[in-house]
């Protein structure tokens, strides 16, 4: 799946599932939850990638903002559903801006203790903003430049071009595609 220049808003696991999905230049907005007395208020991503799938979610050049208090949202937690205990969740967030609503100290959490986030395929690369500060390195798995080379739209989607030339011509003229 490919999503570009989109807006996604929610509170708990609002981007979830098994897909190989690329989000480029998207904005994710986390909501304030007055029904909760303490953090976390929720999680943006909950990937449930199949073990044999090399790629899960990629968020590239995105922006994550929050109306919740600083540090009240987690970036992600792995979803290993009871229907597939072999899932090996995968998420890369790269070159994105994370505002202060994202918990910079511990941006990931477990959904179930039997599947700790540290054993999943989570990584970040060149993110910025207060929610991207690396204060506890073991809580912020960073890709090397070599690893980041494959964490791209082309790396995830292969030969599939989500925006064929005929659409690019239309989009370039202000149209919305076919």
CATH superfamily name and code, 2-172: Single-stranded right-handed beta-helix, Pectin lyase-like (2.160.20.10)
Q: Tell me the C-alpha distance between 92 and 152, whole Å.
A: 10
pLDDT digit string, tens, across residues 55-73: 999 999 999 999 999 999 9
Tell me the sheet residues that pair with 121.
90
- pTM attached to this predicted model: 0.90
- Look at residue 167 in the predicted model and tell me its pLDDT: 61
pLDDT digit string, tens, across residues 88-103: 999 999 999 999 999 9
Q: Tell me the C-alpha distance between 27 and 147, whole Å.
A: 24
Average pLDDT of the segment spanning 150-157: 95
What are the residue boundaries of the structural domains of the chain, listed by start?
2-172
């Amino acid at each position: 799946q490919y999503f570009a220049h989109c807006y996604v808003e929610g509170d708990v696991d609002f981007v979830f599932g098994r897909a190989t999905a690329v989000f480029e230049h998207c904005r994710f907005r986390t909501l304030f939850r007055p029904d909760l007395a303490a953090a976390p208020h929720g999680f943006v991503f909950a990937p449930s990638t199949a073990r044999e799938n090399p790629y899960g979610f990629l968020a590239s050049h995105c922006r994550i903002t929050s109306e919740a208090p600083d540090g009240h949202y987690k970036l992600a937690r792995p979803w290993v559903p009871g229907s597939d205990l072999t899932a090996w969740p995968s998420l890369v967030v790269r070159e994105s801006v994370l505002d202060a609503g994202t918990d910079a100290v511990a941006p990931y959490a477990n959904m179930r203790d039997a599947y700790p986030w540290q054993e999943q395929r989570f990584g970040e690369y060149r993110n910025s903003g207060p929610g991207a500060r690396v204060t506890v390195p073991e809580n912020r798995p960073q890709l090397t430049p070599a690893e980041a080379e494959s964490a791209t739209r082309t790396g995830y989607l292969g030969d599939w071009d989500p925006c064929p030339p005929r659409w690019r011509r239309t989009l370039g003229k202000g149209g919305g595609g076919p």
